[in-house]
Amino acid sequence: MANLSMPAGFHAIRRDRLPLETVMDSYKARGKLSEPTVCPYCGAVFRSGRWQWLPKPENAHQTTCPACHRARDHFPAGYVSVAGDFFAQHEQEIMQLIQHKEAQEKAEHPLQRIIAIEKNGQGALVTTTDIHLARGIGEALHHAYRGELEFHYNPDQNLLRVSWSR
């Protein structure tokens, strides 16, 4: 059996102790959406059970996608805190990496987007519409520049806080 390395901050999960999904995410659809459905804000299309980037179909239903809903409400699912002297020296390069990671993920998964990037005295705070994008940004930073990477997941709120510094 091969040893698999685990990213810092993650622990192995026992399959016999998987928790039942108890998180009530108000941004998920309550029932199945009619197909096709298009988001009037971003143009994403709900077809084949998921949101996709497709040409807008004729006579499509309209509803706001969960990513646009979260962005309009300023209610992120992921927070990525970036700080340290290295960030101050390589800010433009790091911000390009973050935006590239978002573009890469968003091309395949329309609901994974950056809501905002707020710069402060110590670094920057990136807010995302999805916990998976926040994790991906943290892992991309760690892969490219090493440094300290921490994950804090709150299952009650379906919220991920990622902290990277160097």
Summarize pLDDT for 57-114 with one digit per residue, the tens: 999 999 999 999 999 999 999 999 999 999 999 999 999 999 999 999 999 999 999 9
Looking at the fold, whether 77 and 58 belong to one and the same domain comes out as no
Looking at the fold, whether 59 and 77 belong to one and the same domain comes out as no
Q: Are 67 and 110 in contact (CB under 8 A)?
A: yes
- Show which of 64, 84, 116 is a domain's final residue: 64
- The helix or strand, by DSSP H or E, that contains position 100, with its residue range, turns out to be helix 91-108
Domain of residue 58, residue span = 32-64
- Mean of pLDDT values over 44-49: 94
Output 77 or 5, whichever has higher pLDDT: 77
Looking at the fold, whether 106 and 144 belong to one and the same domain comes out as yes
Distances (CA, A) of 26 to 8, 30, 66, 123, 134: 30, 8, 9, 31, 19
**In this structure, is residue 42 part of a structural domain?**
yes
Task: Return the DSSP state at 17.
Answer: G
Model confidence band, residue 3 (pLDDT cutoffs 50, 70, 90): low
b/e for 89-102, b at 16 or more Cβ within 10 A? eeeeebbebbeebb
- Show which of 43, 64, 85 is a domain's final residue: 64
Q: Give Cα 119 distance to the centre of its chain.
A: 19
End-to-end Cα spacing for the chain: 34
**Does residue 8 have a pLDDT over 80?**
no
Tell me the pLDDT of the chain averaged across its residues: 88
Cβ burial, residue 71 (10 Å; 0-12/13-18/19+): buried
**In this structure, is residue 36 part of a structural domain?**
yes
Looking at the fold, whether 118 and 83 belong to one and the same domain comes out as yes
Q: How many distinct structural domains can be found in the chain?
A: 2
- Show which of 48, 64, 80 is a domain's final residue: 64
